[in-house]
Amino acid sequence: MIRRILNAYSIELASAFRMKSTYLGPVLMVIIILLTPFAYPIQEDADSDYDFLAYVLPLAINVFGLFMVLIYSATLISTDLHNGSIRMTLTQPLRRREYWAAKFLHGISYVMALNLVALGTAFGLVKLLGDLSGVYFADELLYSDREMIQLLLTTIGLTLLPQFAVVSYALFFSTATRNPTTAIVLSVGGWLGLEAMKFPLQISEYIYSSYAEAPWTVFSDRCSAFTESSFYPQAYYGVGVSMIYMLVFASVSLFILSRRNLVV
Amino acid sequence: MPTCIHLKQLRKTFGPTVAVNDLTLDIEQGEVFGLLGPNGAGKSTTLHMLTGLVRPTRGAVQIFGQDLRSQFVSIAQRMGVLVERPSFYEHLTVGKNLSLAARYSPKVVNIRRATELAGLSHMVDERVSTLSHGTRQRLGLALALLTEPELLILDEPTSGLDVEHTQEILRTLRHLANHAGVTIVLSSHMMHEVESLCDRVAIINKGNLVTCDSTEVLLSYDKSLMEVHLDAPEAAAKRLMEETWVESAEAKSGKVIVLLAEPNPHQLISFLVANGYQISGAIPRQRTLQDYFLKVLNS
């Protein structure tokens, strides 16, 4: 089964690499990051510009990136259902759940690609225009350059699971509807609704997106020389909540897909 | 011949509509089997259930002696499918579509052979989005033939093809059945295609199996329709109608068209001769599958 999933995943990627729309998100991500210094300047002044990274990366990954992941993932299955190409795929030696798993891996790869593009572009920009030499407080080195980079990678690592849960969430709408536009509208609309309601309803701790934001707060605090903030125990909650959401959306999607009649 | 496909009380409903109603059918290995029926009869739904694209509401599908649902992967490795209005990766070329599909198969796949059989050798570098309907159909056929399957399931295989390509595809399918022992199950609206290609035919109407028999037997029904040229057609027709083994007798200029209850022309000729009619000719009227199909549906 694993071999078939990986095989289907490699076919997915081979097809995606040849589609122009695949590159839209990463290209826009690069443009947004490159334009950010106009709003949040970077200067070569011997002050570390980690605070720029703490500003631009959550914006790029958590705001723009998540919307791109929602849109991209929402079209992964609905497009196949809409144009009928799912029938070509599912008459091959591939089970429906394996097909879904390959799509999920595809979505995860897109998340990873966006994160890498964001990280690479922001980091390159700061290296080029600013300084990265640790975080100081009153001439005292609080965090070395190496520690800050480790911290940055930990932050991104902790936001990955919530982002994977976003893929699972969007794939649910992609499986439930036959039309890509409907899938996008439902997943983005549902997302916006949830984001707008989670604080008034005091349910933010049960919503996985909250855990995509929390690690950046810690990173931002460290950039501002606050030493008290910690990833824990929020990181554990983040893993738990994201895993639960991923499993729930995957189970419901697989149930829907297994019962779907794949006729035009 | 061992059974290739066994359908047992297969039923599919879409809401209140019964698309296929308790269909029980056996298809033997190496057989070319045709599914006929008017639009909405349940042909495509039956074929979709054979390919796993539609889940039956009730009943079982066994292919190569294995249950389709539980053993789908091992069955699909031996099966090639052409669905109606096939879809592909539009942004890729014909060759790339085939090479990607080939990666699903655990076998070594000969893409060139598949393109040659489908008559697509000169189009492998064409982008799918630029192809005509007929060429897309041929690409669908190439995909179905890609893994040299033991079983081919084809929904309207010649739909949208011109006469030349239709003949080419039919020859290819006949060759595969005769020389490679491939079992072929197809649905078609083209009666003459089914007549020339299929060993056995099932007629489905409103989800029910109306009849299922070898093409030879179905067409042997023709022998019951005789055209007899004789001296007194009106009188002969009247006399024949009194016999229980005659279903109908119609006099036309110089001849009488007789529909026999049993395909026994000798009985008819002997009867007419014994009754003193001068027969100048007796011809079994050639009926087509289309005639039979219409008669069955009308009855």
Q: What is the pLDDT of residue A117?
A: 96
Domains contained in chain B, CATH given: 3-206 (3.40.50.300), 221-287 (3.30.70.100)
Hey, are the CB atoms on A87 and B91 less than 8 Å from each other?
A: no
Q: Cβ contacts of residue A255 below 8 Å, gap of 6+?
A: none
**CB-nearest partner of B101 from A18, A92, A264:** A92
- Pairwise CA distance, residues A90 & B52, whole Å: 8
Bigger pLDDT: A143 vs B30:
B30
Q: Which domain holds residue A158?
A: 2-259
Q: Residues of B with CB below 8 A from A259's CB? A: 55
Residue of chain A whose Cα is closest to the Cα of B14: A261
Backbone phi and psi for residue B162, each to the nearest 5 degrees, phi listed first? -80, 175
B69 touches chain A (CB under 8 A): no
Query: Is cis: bond before B16, omega within 30 of 0?
Result: no
Q: What is the pLDDT of residue B220?
A: 65
Collapsing DSSP states into helix, strand and coil, what is residue B295?
helix
Hey, are the CB atoms on A263 and B51 less than 8 Å from each other?
A: no
Stretches where chain B sits below pLDDT 50 are: none
Tell me which amino acid residue A24 is.
L
Which of the 8 DSSP states describes residue B260?
E
User: Could you give the residue ranges of the DSSP H alpha helices within chain B?
Assistant: 43-51, 72-76, 94-102, 111-117, 133-145, 163-179, 191-197, 215-220, 233-240, 265-274, 289-298
Tens digit of pLDDT for each residue in A149-180?
888 898 888 889 989 999 999 999 999 998 99
Cβ–Cβ pairs < 8 A, chains A and B: 80
Q: Are A54 and A48 in contact (CB under 8 A)?
A: no
Residue of chain B whose Cα is closest to the Cα of A85: B87
Q: Are A176 and A253 in contact (CB under 8 A)?
A: yes
Tens digit of pLDDT for each residue in A174-233?
999 989 999 999 999 998 988 888 888 888 777 777 777 778 888 888 887 777 777 778
Hey, are the CB atoms on A11 and B100 less than 8 Å from each other?
A: yes
> pLDDT category, A107, cuts 50, 70, 90?
very high
Domain count, chain A: 1
- Number of helices (H), then strands (E), belonging to chain B: the values are 11, 14
Any idea how long chain A is?
264
Q: Residues of B with CB below 8 A from A83's CB? A: 87, 90
Collapsing DSSP states into helix, strand and coil, what is residue A173?
helix
Q: What is the mean pLDDT of residues A7-14?
A: 89
Q: What is the pLDDT of residue A235?
A: 77
Hey, are the CB atoms on B53 and A11 less than 8 Å from each other?
A: no
- ipTM value, please give it: 0.78
- Pairwise CA distance, residues B159 & A213, whole Å: 55
Tens digit of pLDDT for each residue in A49-74?
888 888 899 989 988 999 999 999 99
> Does residue A246 lie within any of the structural domains?
yes
Alpha-carbon distance A134 to nearest alpha carbon in chain B (angstroms): 48
> pLDDT category, A237, cuts 50, 70, 90?
confident
Q: Burial level of A98, CB count in 10 A (0-12/13-18/19+)?
A: buried
Q: What is the pLDDT of residue A180?
A: 93
- Pairwise CA distance, residues B85 & B136, whole Å: 8
pLDDT surpasses 80 at A86: yes
B55 touches chain A (CB under 8 A): yes
Indicate the pTM of the whole model: 0.84
> Does residue A197 lie within any of the structural domains?
yes
How high does pLDDT run on average in chain A?
88
Q: What is the pLDDT of residue A196?
A: 87
Hey, are the CB atoms on A92 and B86 less than 8 Å from each other?
A: no
- Pairwise CA distance, residues B206 & B188, whole Å: 16
Hey, are the CB atoms on A15 and B103 less than 8 Å from each other?
A: no
**CB-nearest partner of A95 from B72, B86, B96:** B72
- Pairwise CA distance, residues B159 & B190, whole Å: 9
> Does residue A264 lie within any of the structural domains?
no
> Does residue A107 lie within any of the structural domains?
yes
> Does residue A31 lie within any of the structural domains?
yes
Hey, are the CB atoms on A93 and B77 less than 8 Å from each other?
A: yes
Hey, are the CB atoms on A94 and B100 less than 8 Å from each other?
A: no
